[in-house]
Amino acid sequence: MFKEIFQGLGLQEKDPLQIHGYQSYGTHDHLYALGRALEYEGVNLDKKGMFNALKNAYRQFRSDELPGAKLKLKLSDNRVFYTETNAEGYYKIDLQAEGLDTLTNKLGWLQMQLSYEGNKQERVIINDNKFSAQMLIPHEKAEYGVISDIDDTILQTGVASLMKWKVIINTLFQEVGNRTPLKGAASLYQKLHRGKSGEASNPIFYVSNSPWNLYHYLEAFIKHNNFPKGAILLRDFRAPFENTPPPEKPHKQHEIRNILKTYPHLNFVLIGDSGEHDADIYIEIAEEFPDRIKAIYLRSVNHEKRVFRVRGLLEKFEITPALLVNESSIAENHARELGLIA
């Protein structure tokens, strides 16, 4: 608040501008780009130390968004698209565009360049007003896709802890390089990414209820721990007294449905944990798309009642193979038996 007052009185210079481009997904003729226009807060995830981790967390959640900012997106073939950010600084480009698959690299990533269109406020823009974003287009050799949760599925978070206190501690005081991936998870995901042929480049979609404020933190964790690169789909951080109505369906459920509808000829493996609602969501998805889900793997968290409840759900579930696992090796062996990996 004080920052805005000082800036309004001309007593403090306004921060430079930046654009966050998120890793999204699309098809050969469907462009889907997401991101946010923000003031640059100087977040440095490479800097070590607990104090810097706390400072980064504060700066990520204390984001100063730019509503109504006019942005330009440019493809490598010089096609240009324009958009404007909403009240919270988010932009979304969702339209038909032919030949996008001809512009991707060998792993299916489409490179896009973002910039501010005009600068009426004459603000300083970092990176010479050039920001990158990427969109995943599954390769034609893909055997299936993988949709995975993040918290307590690949990253030890503590979502099931009392009042989520472990989540708070881990988010505020742990730097990216010190966050612990779940044992064997990266190796399992790399094998699923390569598929049975070993050359499949199966697309990975990380879907989490974490807010977009943590996007770069989670992106850095995935890269640092050698998980396959994938689309990262988070949610908007709702303020405690926000007046806008919540979505009809939970964020994760909505995103998974969209992915399945975007790729109607691709089947999927769903990976989550027993901590919150993954089992319920995945079962409902499998019931809605009974021929599209090849397997469900749920990592067992340290919470006896929740594990007991999920085990009961899976005992009654017969649509597709579904396992509650304590170790990645169990899921890996099962996936090999199903012919999903080599």
For the stretch 297-332, pLDDT in tens is: 999 987 678 888 999 999 999 999 999 999 999 999
Structure tokens at 185: 């998870």
Q: Check residue 56 and give its pLDDT.
A: 52
The mean predicted confidence, pLDDT, of the chain is 85
0.85 exceeded by pTM? yes
- At residue 1 the predicted structure's pLDDT band, cuts being 50, 70 and 90, is very low
Q: Check residue 163 and give its pLDDT.
A: 41
- At residue 30 the predicted structure's pLDDT band, cuts being 50, 70 and 90, is very high
% of the chain exceeding 70 in pLDDT: 79
Q: Check residue 55 and give its pLDDT.
A: 56
Distance, CA of 156 to chain centre: 16
Residue 90 has pLDDT above 70, yes or no: yes
Radius of gyration of the chain from its Cα atoms, rounded to whole angstroms = 21
Q: Which residue has the higher pLDDT, 243 or 124?
A: 124
Burial letters 164-175, b for 16+ CB under 10 A, else e: eebbeebbeebb
Strand ranges across the sheet with 17-21: 17-21, 30-39, 90-96
- At residue 185 the predicted structure's pLDDT band, cuts being 50, 70 and 90, is very high
Q: Check residue 242 and give its pLDDT.
A: 45
Residue 66 has pLDDT above 70, yes or no: yes
Looking at the chain, which residues constitute the CATH 2.60.40 domain(s)?
Answer: 9-136
Q: What is the 3-state secondary structure (H, E, C) of 2-70?
A: HHHHHHHCCCCCCCCEEEEECEEECECCEEEEEEEEEECCCCCCCCCCHHHHHHHHHHHHCCCECCCCE
Q: Check residue 165 and give its pLDDT.
A: 41
What's the CA gap between 86 and 66, in Å, rounded?
A: 8
- Report helix, strand or coil for 74: strand
Residue 27 has pLDDT above 90, yes or no: yes
Structure tokens at 182: 């779940």
Pick the CATH number of 9-136 from 3.40.50, 2.60.40, 3.30.70, 1.10.10: 2.60.40
Give the architecture-level CATH label for domain 145-337: 3-Layer(aba) Sandwich (3.40)
Q: How many CB atoms lie within 10 A of CB 99?
A: 11
State mean pLDDT over 275-303. Answer: 92
Report the DSSP beta bridge partners of residue 127.
none
Q: What is the pLDDT of residues 48-61, one digit of tens each?
A: 656 565 555 555 55
DSSP strands (E only) in 213-330: 231-235, 268-273, 293-299, 322-325
Q: Check residue 340 and give its pLDDT.
A: 99
State mean pLDDT over 1-23. Answer: 66
Residue 158 has pLDDT above 70, yes or no: no
Q: Which residue has the higher pLDDT, 236 or 179?
A: 236
Nearest in space to 290 (alpha carbons), one of 262, 320, 260: 320
* C-alpha distances out from residue 30 to 114, 180, 237, 258, 279, Å: 18, 36, 27, 13, 30
Q: Tell me the helices (H) and strands (E) count for the chain, helix number first.
A: 9, 14
**Dihedral of the CA atoms 272, 275, 281, 283 (nearest 10)?**
80
Q: Which residue has the higher pLDDT, 33 or 237?
A: 33
Residue 164 has pLDDT above 50, yes or no: no
Report the DSSP beta bridge partners of residue 83.
71
% of the chain exceeding 90 in pLDDT: 66
Tokens 């396959």 sit on residue: 228
Nearest in space to 338 (alpha carbons), one of 283, 268, 284, 287: 268
Residue 247 has pLDDT above 50, yes or no: no
Nearest in space to 272 (alpha carbons), one of 261, 258, 286: 286
Name, in order, each residue with C-beta under 8 angstroms of 139's C-beta and a sequence gap of 6 or more: 107, 108, 200, 201, 203
Residue 8 has pLDDT above 50, yes or no: no
Q: Check residue 42 and give its pLDDT.
A: 65
Looking at the chain, which residues constitute the CATH 3.40.50.1000 domain(s)?
Answer: 145-337
Name, in order, each residue with C-beta under 8 angstroms of 74's C-beta and a sequence gap of 6 or more: 80, 81, 112, 113, 114, 115
Q: What is the pLDDT of residues 94-147, one digit of tens each?
A: 999 999 999 999 999 999 999 999 865 678 999 999 999 999 999 989 999 999
Nearest in space to 281 (alpha carbons), one of 211, 192, 208, 213: 208
